[in-house]
Structure 1
Amino acid sequence: MKHLGKLALLAAAIGAAAAALMVFGARLGLWQPITGFGLYRSYFDLLAIGVTAVGLIALIVHLFRKEKVPAAFGGIAALIGVAMLVPMISSTLNPPVRAAPINDITTDTANPPVFLVLDETREGARTSLAYAGAKVADIQVTAYPDIAPLETNLDADSAFVRALEVAEAMGWDIVAKDAEHRRFEATARTSVFYFADDVVVVVSEQESGSRVDLRSVSRIGRSDQGINAARIRAFQQKF
């Protein structure tokens, strides 16, 4: 019993490491993002509860035995468990709003930018790059009415260069670029779980200035949880 606090702290360290692997394993190349996400959904909360319980038991036992140092170990383990419980507690107190059931967002629903290089063979893809048409467009307009083309005073060539700079600054992997037609395709990754989304950007001339259109498509999932719309907004703000 005298080593219970140390064992609880060791269990907490192992639990925290396992939790980190669930979230960042795909970024480390250990597995596909969907695998890490599946592990997280299935085991993260149970792991957090287990770590918290073991830490509390150790804390109580050692306090009862008046063993201060081992009790401190148990208390630290319990705090690690509580920290791991934060996502579950937060989602319980503030349930997330269900996102629109679409994973393909564009600034031009009438004539969405087309992918010419990225195709259905992209790694881990379970969705199509073919635009689904009016049904998806109607849902997008209702869910994200602010998503619209970016109008700029820059000439088209300068706007294309600026768009590339912004994409690179946002950490997108530029897959292909065509300066002549002022378009490029890229892959962007989510910060958590490292899911891949594919983006195409097209710059067109206007009578005064230019227009920048984007389209962002998730490789996995019926709903993108608002990620693609948020990405387009972030790009436009940085531009």
Structure 2
Amino acid sequence: MRSRLGSVLVAFAIVAILVIGVMMLGARLNLWQPIVGFGLVRNYMNPIAYAVLGLGILGVIYYLVVKGRCGLGKSFFTVVVGIALLAPTIYGKINPPVRVPPIHDITTDTTNPPLFQVLDESREGARNTLVYGGPEIAAFQQQAYPDIVPIFSDKSTQAAFQEALRVAKEMNWDIVVEDQYALRFEASAKTSVYQFIDDVVVVVSSVEGQSRVDIRSVSRIGRSDRGVNAKRIRTFISLFDK
């Protein structure tokens, strides 16, 4: 009988896990747009976690007083769940994330960024334009991501184009269009958790006997991409020709 409260606490903890899981994965389940799930997690994950942790601590205190071993174990479980749900916040306090500039359009060529020819302002859920922001955005990117530069390869342009396509498919991008003659393709890529859709264009050209590969990645939603587009381009560069 005394462990009944502990069972309630365990049930509450499990429900909390399920609720947060649905908030995070709702876009994958076609329940809502990614921005909705992101907002739900940002607004409600910590309050739910604090509630689980607080109730678990109260349960531990209660069972320590009444000396209920079974209920104490269940209360400890609830506390562990609460701490686990708070882990991202705790980690962020201990190791603050690197601040990123308020930009969502990253490219290996800030002077003549690759242009989108098929994807346009009508793409689903888009709130950001595909028009490049110019020198101001280029300056922000150069300051934050000076390592984002074109790929130069000794491969022929056709071979470099095929290698770029291979990398895109390995990264699970959805190829929207590819042009074997113009040596360019456009694709969409989804973020891993919330399933935000970003748009990517890759162009291969010939420069002084080498093949040059330029990439541009643009978020459909949000003023800042939290470094996602730069990370995507870095991954593409690291996988190219490997």
Aligned residue number for residue 14 of structure 1: 15
User: Any residues of structure 2 matched to 1:182-193 within 5 Å, and which?
Assistant: 182-193=183-194
Q: CA RMSD in A?
A: 1.2
User: Any residues of structure 2 matched to 1:57-206 within 5 Å, and which?
Assistant: 57-206=58-207
Task: Tell me, in whole angstroms, the C-alpha distance in 2 between the residues paired with 1:209 and 1:156.
Answer: 8
Task: Tell me, in whole angstroms, the C-alpha distance in 1 between the residues paired with 2:63 and 2:124.
Answer: 52
Shift of 1:142: 1.5
Task: Tell me, in whole angstroms, the C-alpha distance in 1 between the residues paired with 2:156 and 2:63.
Answer: 71
Task: Tell me, in whole angstroms, the C-alpha distance in 2 between the residues paired with 1:93 and 1:237.
Answer: 29
AA at the equivalent of 2:220: R
The normalised TM-score by structure 1 is 0.96
- The SS at the match of 1:112 is coil
Once superposed, which parts of structure 1, at least 4 consecutive aligned residues long, lie more than 6 Å away? none
AA at the equivalent of 1:98: R
Task: Tell me, in whole angstroms, the C-alpha distance in 2 between the residues paired with 1:39 and 1:220.
Answer: 16
Deviations 1:195-238 (A, max 9, x none): 11110000112332311000000111111111111111110000
AA at the equivalent of 1:102: I
Pair 1:221-2:216 in alignment: no
Task: Tell me, in whole angstroms, the C-alpha distance in 2 between the residues paired with 1:218 and 1:228.
Answer: 7
AA at the equivalent of 2:223: R
Deviations 1:67-86 (A, max 9, x none): 21121111111101110011
Pair 1:51-2:57 in alignment: no
Task: Tell me, in whole angstroms, the C-alpha distance in 1 between the residues paired with 2:61 and 2:176.
Answer: 56
Deviations 1:122-178 (A, max 9, x none): 111110001111111111111111111100111000111110110110111111111
Deviations 1:53-96 (A, max 9, x none): 11122222122222211211111111011100111111122222
The number of residue pairs the alignment matches comes to: 239
- The SS at the match of 2:106 is strand
The normalised TM-score by structure 2 is 0.95
Aligned residue number for residue 25 of structure 1: 26
Which stretches in structure 2 are left out of the alignment for 5+ residues? none
AA at the equivalent of 2:166: E
AA at the equivalent of 1:71: L
Task: Tell me, in whole angstroms, the C-alpha distance in 1 between the residues paired with 2:82 and 2:97.
Answer: 23
- The SS at the match of 2:202 is strand
Task: Tell me, in whole angstroms, the C-alpha distance in 1 between the residues paired with 2:171 and 2:207.
Answer: 26
